[in-house]
Amino acid sequence: MWKTIVRRFLIMIPQLFVLSVIIFVLAKFMPGDPFTGLISPQTDPARIAELTEKAGLNDPWHIQYMRWIGNAFQGDLGLSYTYKRDVADLIGERALNTFWLSLLSVFILYLIAIPLGILAGRYQNSRLDKTIVLYSFVTYAIPTFVLGLIFLFLFGYKLEWFPTSGSVDIKYEAGTLRYYWDKFYHILLPSFTYAVLGTTGIIQYLRSEIIDAKTMDYVRTARSKGIPMRKVYSKHIFRNSLLPIAAFLGFTITGLLGGSIFVETIFGYPGMGQLFVSSISSRDYSVITALVMLFGFLALLGSLLSDIIMSIVDPRIRIE
Amino acid sequence: MKGNELLKINNLHTGFRIKDTFYDAVDGVSLSVKKNEILAIVGESGCGKSTLATSIIGLYDHNKTRVQGEIVFDNKNLAALSEEEMNDIRGFQISMIFQDPLSALNPLMRIGEQIEEGLIYHTKLDKSKRDSRVLELLQQVGIRNPERVARQFPHQLSGGMRQRVIIAIAIACKPQIIIADEPTTALDVTIQAQILDLLIELQAETEAGIILITHDLGVVAEVADRVAVMYAGQIIEEAAVEELFANPKHPYTRSLFNSIPQMNSQSDRLNVIEGIVPSLMNLPRSGCRFSSRIPWIPGEAHEENPALHEISPGHFVRCTCWKEFHFKTDKGGGTHELYANK
Amino acid sequence: MSFMQINDLKVHYPVRGGFFNTVIDRVLAVDGITMEFERGKAYGLVGESGCGKSTTGKALIGLEKITNGSIIYEGENVTNKRRNRKSSFNRDVQMIFQDAHSSLNPRKRVKDIIAEPIRNFLNLTPKEEERKISELLEIVGMPEDAKLKYPHEFSGGQKQRLGIARAIATNPKLIIADEPVSALDLSVQAQVLNFMKDIQNEFGLSYLFISHDLGVVKHMCDHISIMYKGRFVETGTKHDIYTNPQHIYTKRLLSAIPEVSPAGRENRKRERILVEQHYQAEHKNYFDENERVFDLLQVSNTHYVAATSQVRGVL
């Protein structure tokens, strides 16, 4: 198994290399450059040209690319033009925010979706099932920003149960218990929004898995042993139906780490999604390329993670 | 009930709901199973033999199935028991062996665990006693390294081994009746022979009554004591195995025998039964159900309401048409001139 | 004279593994078999699941890549050739599958299913094509109005006959039938087998009949080969195999077939146990240390057995 994991990581190197070239070239094709929006109209065009030259933006793309990739290998992802900060530091800070948000989102997501999916599948065609299916279609149909705004208005503004933006109140000192509590408090509403919207897929998938499993031969065998129906459900049907969901976990986690652009933007949460959008609009090349590289890596990692989870939960699959 | 009769089925009707009407797939079957006996139920697909099996053990979809009549076992009518009451009998006094040994085992559960399950609910054995019983069972079904197999998953075993595991599950609580639904159909012939030998061996030990559901007359000849032939939901002939193979009477039974490509026959042509088995919704519900497949036999030969007649002790035949039956002789071979004119 | 020969046919699948996912081993699905086909004869290929009999059939028709060996058709080497529509081999060798249901496209009408090989290989006008389809349906005993129906409207036996109609549409010389009746009920099976015999007699077809059912194979075939682990353990006429089996594997297989007669079943069981003991005791004379079947040795004009030459001396 370790061999496979190492091999998969090695295969990622050429994949990421190709990705990096594509991203770098595409980023350069975007109209404008980092100085376009920052500099006032009064600035001397010669000064801009000087800055551009100094930043190496006039060199052919492959020279720029070689310079960037060389630095990247030394752990230097460059400087953000907009934030005037080290890209690695910037992303690191945002990634941590997104990580906590994602973790809670996944937790709430599964907390809602799994019981609902199980109930819908178990009592197929009952009134309960129909209600759950209706719920999942409704949440599927609502756009993220609509639900986000409704929640924000209702729970944040009207009821004032939750903060409406940010990741932590500046009045708390970092490291204290209050500080962490406040962080948690800030991500609760965005995670909940995200989770509610993500439930449809899992509920529907789980429901149909369970309905399928009920007709399986091994379930009939289990019933022929004379064990109570609730045991047949818990030991045979649910366990086997949760398998594909577990396998999906890898993708879900890494997918979330990319950050949700809508949720983070609406709740003013300083995470990766928000950073990505703002860096694109400000042509912050070094941040864009670093982020896309990171997203690419996460996607590859997600598929590896899913394979690993699968091989742990399903004895038929062994990666060696 | 008579001395060694374990199970007695009286006028059983099992119907499936299709658009709010129930159509009987098992249509008035009466049977009994004795201790230490293998009763084979033979028929082609759609004759109702598998439905009969699932009716006995109660493994049908209660919303779509209607079971009427009596299935008397241990002074109880199984057809009238609730799901919970059936659970006390299933796997304990009556158990079932299934056809496809791969899909009949849970792919995510260890073999030992799957065998143990029934023991948890039907016996008071503690964990360590159950574990040793599992090993004992695996040994009993001819698995040489039970400790290892108990820890394995189904996909790690061969087809024959899996079928042995299925049998181990079925005999775990020493049932009085075992229903074997096509237990060897998915297996190669050499494995089939082993499994059939094993069934007979186990029966000698446990004295269980076995109901063997099959379409394979060869398998019947090898293991059965008594045979019931089913057609269109009814039993059309029933007799001891030697009697049935030596003196088949019903036109359907005789036709079937003549359709088998036999190892020792030299005949170039096999018998073909005219027409097709009517579907469940189109089953003729009155008269001789086989009459449409032997149209050259005059209508008077059939009974109006065909009943099972005992023509010799223990040999029952439905309808009277068997007396007049003869095989059709002319076999007009089609001329396919157009095809020949290449 | 035979019209088609296969020589030392091998189909090997690579097994990948190790750090760089390189080929570390091979599965010898078909491992050196030699056969020839004469016009109007039926050949049986018998073996237990996984012995390579289906792979052999698929390799012949071009559905599996042949690793080694050759197929000579009418004097021409057609092994692994990029098969084109004009190829006579492609037209003359057709296949019938076990699962008639899944081998017929559910979204196509019977007409179009049967017309496919006709359109591929024969240059017919729409009118001629229409007539040809009617003929074919008549040959397989289906009514004219079946043309416009879809596969799901037919029973299992009827579907298998549609599969046969498609296979004989191009007037093939050889039909490869992979378990064509094993999914069918006895009475339907009889219908299909009779029918296959009829068209064989009428049109001088050859069959390669792949099956695990020795009764069916005996009924249909003149020449039978028993296969185990990708190799022939024994090959000969029907008479050779059934009345004078030489290989312990053949003997064991034959002894395991249930007989349709309850009389003497106790004796048969004893016999079976003896054969099994013999099988265990004689194993080394019939398989090498890797369980590989030895090369075939000639016993008579038609009969070949795979064994060590010592055993051959005894025979």
Q: How close is the nearest chain A Cα to the Cα of C17, in Å?
A: 8
What's the fold here for domain C2-243?
A: Rossmann fold (3.40.50)
Confidence band, pLDDT 50/70/90 cuts, at residue B276: confident
Q: A217-226, B330-339, C119-128 — which is least confidently predicted?
A: B330-339
Residue A17, domain member (yes or no)? no
Residue B138, domain member (yes or no)? no
Rounded to the nearest 10 degrees, the angle between the axes of helix A272-281 and helix A87-122 is 130
Residues in chain B: 342
> Who wins on pLDDT, B77 or C100?
B77
How many independent structural domains does chain A possess?
1
Would you list which residues of chain A are within 8 Å, Cβ to Cβ, of chain C?
3, 6-7, 320
- Asked if the model's pLDDT at residue C248 lies above 90, the reply is yes
What is the number of alpha carbons within 13 Å of residue C134 lying toward its C-beta?
10
β-pairing, B38-42 with B209-214?
Answer: parallel
Q: Specify the pLDDT at position B338.
A: 34
Q: Specify the pLDDT at position A29.
A: 73
**Two structure tokens written together for C294:** 């030895």
β-pairing, C304-306 with C174-178?
Answer: unpaired
Option in B92, B103, B118 nearest A217 (CB) = B103
- Asked if the model's pLDDT at residue B331 lies above 60, the reply is no
Residue B88, domain member (yes or no)? yes
Nearest chain C residue to A7 by CA: give it: C19
Residue B113, domain member (yes or no)? no
Nearest chain C residue to A5 by CA: give it: C19
Torsion of CA A18, A24, A29, A31, to 10 degrees: 150
- The mean pLDDT value for C139-154 works out to 85
Q: Do C260 and B192 touch (CB under 8 A)?
A: no
Instruction: Enter the pTM of the model.
Output: 0.85
Q: Do A320 and C20 touch (CB under 8 A)?
A: no
Q: Specify the pLDDT at position A218.
A: 94
Residues of B in contact with A224 (CB under 8 A): 57, 59, 90-91, 95-96, 98, 170
- The mean pLDDT value for C41-69 works out to 91
Residue A51, domain member (yes or no)? no
- The mean pLDDT value for B246-260 works out to 93
Q: Do B118 and A240 touch (CB under 8 A)?
A: no
How do residues C171-198 score in pLDDT, each as one tens digit? Answer: 899 999 998 888 788 888 888 898 889 8
What CATH code is carried by the domain that includes residue A202? 1.10.3720.10
Q: Specify the pLDDT at position B125.
A: 92
Q: How far apart are CA C91 and CA C85, in angstroms?
A: 8
Q: Kindly provide the b/e burial profile for residues B220-247, where b requires at least 16 CB atoms within 10 angstroms of the residue's own CB.
A: bbbbbbbbbbbbbbbbbbbbbbebbbee
Q: How far apart are CA A127 and CA A129, in angstroms?
A: 5
Confidence band, pLDDT 50/70/90 cuts, at residue C44: very high
How do residues C83-104 score in pLDDT, each as one tens digit? Answer: 666 678 888 999 998 887 888 8
In single-letter form, the type of residue at position C55 comes to: T
How many independent structural domains does chain B possess?
1
Burial of A91 from C-beta contacts in 10 A (0-12 / 13-18 / 19+): buried
Nearest chain C residue to B160 by CA: give it: C49
Residues of A in contact with C19 (CB under 8 A): 3, 6-7
Q: How far apart are CA C286 and CA C35, in angstroms?
A: 21
Mean pLDDT value across chain B: 89
Alpha-carbon distances, residue C191 vs A311, B194, C94, C138, C201 (angstroms): 48, 31, 21, 15, 16
Residue B110, domain member (yes or no)? no
Q: How far apart are CA B336 and CA B272, in angstroms?
A: 20
| Of C286, C256, C249, nearest in space to C271 by CA | C256
Q: Specify the pLDDT at position B263.
A: 58
Q: Is the ipTM of this complex over 0.95?
A: no
Residue B51, domain member (yes or no)? yes
CB atoms within 10 A of CB C16: 11
Q: Do C259 and B224 touch (CB under 8 A)?
A: no
Confidence band, pLDDT 50/70/90 cuts, at residue B3: low
Chain A contact probe: residue of B57, B64, B85, B87 with most A CBs at under 10 A = B87
**A167 contacts: CB under 8 Å, gap ≥ 6:** A97, A183, A186, A187, A269, A270, A271
Q: How close is the nearest chain A Cα to the Cα of C36, in Å?
A: 41
Q: Do B117 and A216 touch (CB under 8 A)?
A: no
Task: Give me the domain span that covers residue B313.
Answer: 1-93+173-342
**Two structure tokens written together for B165:** 């595991």
What is the number of alpha carbons within 13 Å of residue C103 lying toward its C-beta?
21
Residue A233, domain member (yes or no)? yes
Residues of B in contact with C219 (CB under 8 A): 261-262, 270
Q: Do B197 and C48 touch (CB under 8 A)?
A: no
Task: Give me the domain span that covers residue A118.
Answer: 87-313
Q: Looking at chain B, which subunits does it touch, using at least 3 CB pairs closer than 8 Å as the criterion? A: A, C
DSSP C66-111: --EEEEEETTEE-TT----TT-HHHHHEEEE-S-TTTTS-TTS-HH
Q: How far apart are CA B12 and CA C250, in angstroms?
A: 45
Burial of B126 from C-beta contacts in 10 A (0-12 / 13-18 / 19+): exposed
Mean pLDDT value across chain C: 88
What CATH code is carried by the domain that includes residue B220? 3.40.50.300
Q: How close is the nearest chain C Cα to the Cα of A7, in Å?
A: 7
Q: Do B95 and A228 touch (CB under 8 A)?
A: no
- How many beta-carbon contacts under 8 Å exist across A and B? 82
Any bridge partners for residue C297, and if so which? Answer: C305
Q: Specify the pLDDT at position A36.
A: 58
DSSP B72-101: EETTEEGGG--HHHHHHHBTTTEEEE-S-T
Residues of C in contact with B270 (CB under 8 A): 189-190, 193-194, 219
Q: How far apart are CA B296 and CA C103, in angstroms?
A: 36
320 residues of chain A, pLDDT tens digit each: 777 788 888 888 888 888 888 887 887 776 666 665 555 666 677 777 776 776 666 777 778 788 777 777 776 767 777 777 787 888 888 888 888 888 888 899 899 999 999 999 999 889 999 999 999 888 888 887 788 788 878 887 777 777 767 666 666 677 777 777 777 777 888 888 888 888 888 899 999 999 999 989 999 999 999 999 999 999 999 989 988 888 788 777 777 776 677 778 888 788 888 888 888 887 777 788 888 888 888 888 888 888 888 888 888 876 55
- The mean pLDDT value for C259-278 works out to 91
Task: Please compute Rg for chain C using Cα positions.
Answer: 21
Q: Specify the pLDDT at position B340.
A: 36
Helix residue spans in chain A (DSSP H): 2-29, 45-54, 61-73, 87-122, 127-141, 144-151, 177-214, 217-224, 229-231, 238-257, 261-266, 272-281, 285-313
Q: How close is the nearest chain B Cα to the Cα of A295, in Å?
A: 34
Residues of A in contact with B92 (CB under 8 A): 226
Q: How far apart are CA B1 and CA B19, in angstroms?
A: 39
Q: How far apart are CA A287 and CA A285, in angstroms?
A: 5
Residues of C in contact with B257 (CB under 8 A): 260
Q: How close is the nearest chain B Cα to the Cα of A195, in Å?
A: 29
